[in-house]
Chains A and B, each alone.
Chain A
Amino acid sequence: MVRFFKRDAASKGAVRTDADAPARKPRELKPEPERIGIAGSVPFVRLPEPATLFAKRAERLRTLAPDHPLGGYLAFLAQIAEAQAAVQAERPPVSTAPEPAPDLALRTEHGMPPLSRHGLDGVFPEVLAALLARLDLGTAPEPARRALDTLRRAAPEDRLDLAVQVFEGAIPVERVAESVYVAAALQICLAEQAAGLDTKALKPIADGVCPCCGGAPTASLVVGWTPADKARYLACTLCGTQWNHVRIRCTACGSGEGVSYYGLDEVSGDIQVETCTTCHSYIKHLHQHRDPALDPVADDIASYGLDLKIAEDGFRKAGLNLMMVG
């Protein structure tokens, strides 16, 4: 302790002090809360990192699959995520914004997300083609393989048409199976485009709406990374962006009344559902600060038992997981 009070020349020697730095006047000093690990405000968004997003998801799905009641499906999704990672790895590095900068600025100015379906026309067809070429579903059930074949034979316009419907969250019920592959390709495109956005330009759109692409949240995460420890982020189902949403506040209707958390300690204490009695909806609430391996897509599906339980109490799911609709 003594060292802190002896700032005179006598203490010079082994210990390096701030005295070496140029003298600063008190009015030039600025608070540096980062030095103790917290910041004045948490970042509003955390953009996806496409290079690791799908690979980590695949790894998580592979970890979860053994001895899981939905193991077969988790392993199937792991194959898709591995294909996504492989396609992503072969994509050229993005050098330009998905659409002209004035367009993006105009949308932000008017409270709309910067990424739109018009940005898909160029990239989506080739990404989907690459993904379809890479997917090898030898052991998958027949309907899954049939849907893949249907999509392989589909005309480019038809594929794009389905992509737009998935993007807008209006999944045709007779094409739910094909939508999974289309959604997988969309995730690659949008994660890539979102990663190129400027976080400073992004603004909140509405409760439960992704500020990058307007997508719905897959799940709610209480994160553990340093500037935002224990703050809550919602993970977008389309582009994988995570954006801050105040805790104990419904993600669908914004109400703070009647928010409760339900969990099955016997199954997993790190995953709960956040329910709202105002709008009778729920969303998965993953405690990533306790288990950093939790992935919004993978663990939302792996905790499907919670969905079944909470649905018995009459709650509807707020948010959307494109890898498992319904």
Chain B
Amino acid sequence: MTVQVSRRGLLRGVGSGLAGGTLGALGFGGLEPAMAAAVRPFKLAQMRETRNTCPYCSVSCGVILYSLGDRSKNARSAVMHVEGDPDHPVNRGTLCPKGSALLDFIQSETRTKYPLYRAAGAAEFKRVSWDFALDRIARLLKDDRDRNFVAKNGDLTVNRWTTTGFLGASATTNETAWITYKAVRSMGALVFDNQARV
């Protein structure tokens, strides 16, 4: 029998333990139990590396988020480090000072994680559902557009709405950006900018 190793380098035919491996064949087999004993008390710590895009500007640098814990089990996972993605053609592992501080952005206590609503006259923000928030935004947009939409400038049809502005996100995909553009422009909104220029 031979230890077949394919061109991909996966050991076949013999289990991963391979008691009859090089150590045993050369007479060092006695060392293996010592090695096993040395690591037995310890538990493997799992870490994940996840690719993402920096949300700050249109350069859209690639970042790697380092997180501890296994997402599939009960353990709580937490991002513990952020750095530039060395394989990303845009930034080759580098980040600007804002990007380098992304970890604080993720862990910030004041980070907005869900819609908050402060009713007129109320002193505090209160957590609301996405349905509530989107309904309310739609209502306000519609009211403002109905009041201020300019269909004609003299005889010329212009169909413009200049009293509400829209700010697009910088780390969106082409598809998201396309839909954003279509949604905003189809309402006649002219005040339209992107986070990338901020």
Contact = CB atoms under 8 A, between A and B. Distances in A.
Contacts of B39: 264, 267, 305-306, 308-309
A100 to B, nearest CB: 24
Of all A-B residue pairs in the complex, the 5 with the closest CB atoms, nearest first, are A326-B21, A326-B18, A141-B27, A216-B9, A305-B39
B1 interface: yes
A207 B39 CA distance: 31
A253 B9 CA distance: 11
Interface of B: 1-11, 14, 16-23, 25-28, 31, 34-39, 42, 44-51, 64, 70, 83-87, 89, 92-94
Contacts of A176: 3, 20-22, 25
A123 interface: no
A134 interface: no
Given A177-B26, A304-B35, A326 B3 contact: yes
Interface of A: 38-42, 69-73, 76, 140-144, 147, 165, 169-173, 176-177, 179-180, 206-209, 214, 216-217, 228-232, 246-248, 252-253, 259-267, 272, 279, 281, 304-311, 313, 315-320, 323-326
B10 to A, nearest CB: 6
A283 to B, nearest CB: 9
A100 B163 CA distance: 74
Q: Interface centre among A206, A214, A317, by most B CB within 10 Å? A: A317
B11 A262 contact: no
Given A141-B27, A267-B39, A324-B21, A230 B8 contact: no
Contact of A265 (B2, B8, B45, B49): B45
B31 A263 contact: no
B161 to A, nearest CB: 42
B10 A281 contact: yes
A309 B35 CA distance: 11
A261 B20 contact: no
Contact of B3 (A171, A180, A208, A217): A171
